[in-house]
Amino acid sequence: MDNSIFEKTDHYINSLFAPEEEVLSGIEQSLLDGNSKMPLGGISANQGKLLQVLAKMCNAKTVLELGTLGGYSTIWLARALPAGGKVITIEYDENNVAIAKANIAKAGLTDKIEIRTGKAIDILQQLKAENKHTFDMVFMDADKPPYTEYFALALSMSRPGTIIVADNVVRNGKVLEENSSDPAVLGVQRFNKALSKNKAVTATILQMVGLKEYDGMAIAVVN
Ligand SMILES: C[S@@+](CC[C@H](N)C(=O)[O-])C[C@H]1O[C@@H](n2cnc3c(N)ncnc32)[C@H](O)[C@@H]1O
């Protein structure tokens, strides 16, 4: 099968359901111009729209995101929230934080998005210690080795019906490699196994093809 069909179909779907306005379509360039270490690491437009659909399905008002990069997924998520809604997004690279802040300001969403700068594990523990956060939706898209620990902390700040999405859990099919030494593959293998056994949630993994590499998202709803 010619794999370009996936890319062409993604363009078709995006044009119907997820057209990007200028701020979103300019984020990759803003990351390149700002010398980000991973300018092409964001989700696709249709994946952004999927996050919006999920946010609406759980009536999300408060969203937690791990891994801001240039703010692309953050902006999609923030746009799905009602007045007074908030996304708290975590990013440890200060250069990415500066780029994201500029993009979020351009999108007119500064009031709806709070960036916490630091290592995800530290900020998650900080948020938990603050003892005032119950998130309606969580999007995990930072480093993969601690996904299991991130999920446990996210779960501890959830309610029944909270949706937790974890990106990049298929990794071009490398998740099947039994003797992998890739820390990201090992991280998602450990996470996927733990998630499949977690009785606190109902979960599965969706494989994804399209403009981005062959990958997938784990989607869980808290019981
Ligand atoms: C895949 S990118 C996020 C893409 C973004 N969610 C989007 O779709 O537009 C991962 C981001 O997580 C950040 N990151 C990686 N490990 C982290 C950690 N331990 N703590 C906080 N941020 C981290 C990286 O600097 C990078 O910006």
Per-residue pLDDT, 143: 98
Ligand 1: residue of 27, 40, 93 to mutate (most ligand atoms within 8 A of CB) is 93
Domain ranges, residue 111: 4-222
Give residue 90 CA to ligand 1 midpoint distance, Å.
Answer: 8
pLDDT tens across 112-164, in order?
999 999 999 999 999 999 999 999 999 999 999 999 999 999 999 999 999 99
Give the pTM. 0.98
CATH of the domain at 13: 3.40.50.150
Residues 6+ apart with CB under 8 A from 31: 38, 39, 40, 69, 70, 96, 99
Domain count, the chain: 1
Query: Could you say which DSSP state residue 171 is in?
Result: G
Which segments within the chain are labelled E, that is strand?
A: 62-66, 86-91, 113-117, 137-140, 163-167, 201-208, 215-222
Per-residue pLDDT, 77: 98
pLDDT tens across 11-54, in order?
999 999 999 989 999 999 999 999 999 999 999 999 999 999 99
What is the number of the ligand 1 atom nearest to the C-alpha of 27?
9
76: left (phi over 0), alpha (psi -120 to 50) or beta: alpha
Give the residue whose CA is nearest to atom 22 of ligand 1: 91
Give residue 213 CA to ligand 1 midpoint distance, Å.
Answer: 17
What is the number of the ligand 1 atom nearest to the C-alpha of 47?
8
Is residue 22 within 8 A of residue 60, CB to CB? The reply is no
